[in-house]
Amino acid sequence: MKIVYFMTPAYGHVLPVLPIIRELTKRGHEVICYATPQFKDYIGSCGCHYREYDEEFHNLKIDEITGDLYRLMETLITLNEKQYDNYIDVVRSESPDLLMYDSMLSFAKNIAYKLNIKSVCTAATIGFNLPVCMFSNIATSSVPLVLKNGKGMRRLIKQDKKFRKDRGLAKFKLIDLYMNTADCTIVMTPYKLQPMAWTFPKSVHFVGTTIKEQIEILHGGEYGDYDCYISMGSVFGKNVNEMRDFLEFPEMREKKIIISTPETPDWMKGMPNVRAEKWVHNVDLIPNVKLFINVGGVSSVYTAMYYGVRQISIPAQEEERYNAIILKRHKGGFYLKRYEKDKLLKAVKSADKLKPELCQKLIREADGTGTAAELIEGMSVNL
């Protein structure tokens, strides 16, 4: 089976699917992946063919816009309209048996629809549908968004409706901004961790994570033992001075700490118990830490769950808040709504009360890689 796969070029979207495409090539399928240069070697190591996206994708900073739902909507609608026109003839010439795409890329869904090609959508996060969005923090946060950007949102929806009508495509659905379902949709979250899993159609499959196989593919660092690992992205940047106050608490100065940060402040360089790194290999580091403080990104949360590591999540955006709520619900970590040094210290002191082994069991009992490959192969029956 010949498969063309359009990836969203962001680490949180590409790394979780590497084990799946590797497994497909092992089973004899030809997989062609569209991505950007930073993922070329990863794709090649899985035995797949790499194709480079055009300049539009090179400039896409998906991690920087997901915290602003209006900006995300504007970016994805504009991007997907352009890429539909750019890639429909490319797909025609490739003549694949199956079209795969990341959940954010509606242009690929539209191409599959137009060319009558069977399709598979992959979602590296939890699954989203109307009930999940309505009965969550996403619905609450959408009220001020609509009040602030209602005119712009109406313009974008009208624009996309016209685009689809002119090209004879399926009607616009706002939920497609979160998850573009396909003939088969693969969500890399275990069924037992997925909110309102029963509300999804049978074509949506909650297969679980691919972390076991990611460890084999992504291994690249050696780390000693640490009391605490902090990876907080923009939360750290916005609270850099308060973070200094947190690290200078006597209880924290006694701990061996490693921090992932793009830039190391001068004051941090003078802390003998703190190691700062621009880049860390999570699959290698996390099993060596006692406590992981993060923003609630799904890859970080699930990797720590897999290893049974206690967590404290301080989300910066809506999807991360949902992950943190799930983590709290299953007693694997604490959820702090915002960064406050005193509350964070209190959570650190209480971390022994957490029961990460419960989450570990849920993560490890699902074979995401094998199940996903079986589902994708099953698509060939109807070809």
Using an 8 Å Cβ cutoff, are 347 and 328 in contact?
A: no
Query: How far is 45 from 137, CA to CA, in rounded Å?
Result: 39
H or E element in which residue 17 lies: none
Report pLDDT for 144. Answer: 66
Report pLDDT for 66. Answer: 62
Q: Please, which residues have CB within 8 angstroms of residue 321's CB and are 6 or more apart in sequence?
A: 137, 296, 315, 335, 337
Using an 8 Å Cβ cutoff, are 91 and 116 in contact?
A: no
Helices (H) then strands (E): counts for the chain: 20, 13
Report pLDDT for 171. Answer: 82
Topology, domain 2-208+366-382 = Rossmann fold (3.40.50)
User: What DSSP string runs through 183-221?
Assistant: SEEEESSBGGGSTTGGGS-TTEEEB---HHHHHHHH---
Using an 8 Å Cβ cutoff, are 101 and 109 in contact?
A: yes
In the chain, residues under CATH classification 3.40.50.2000 are 2-208+366-382, 223-364
Give the CATH class of 223-364.
alpha beta
Query: How far is 147 from 133, CA to CA, in rounded Å?
Result: 18
Q: Are strands 98-102 and 118-123 parallel, antiparallel or unpaired?
A: parallel
Q: Are strands 333-335 and 49-52 parallel, antiparallel or unpaired?
A: unpaired
Q: Are strands 226-231 and 257-260 parallel, antiparallel or unpaired?
A: parallel
H or E element in which residue 66 lies: none
Positive or negative torsion for Cα 309, 314, 319, 325: positive
User: What phi, psi does 273 have (nearest 5°)?
Assistant: -90, 0
Taking Cα atoms as reference points, which of 326, 313, 140, 351 lies closest to residue 235? 313
pTM for the whole structure: 0.90
Q: Residue 300 corresponds to which tokens in the numbers above?
A: 């970080």
Report pLDDT for 67. Answer: 61
Report pLDDT for 355. Answer: 96
Residues of the chain under the 50 pLDDT cut: none
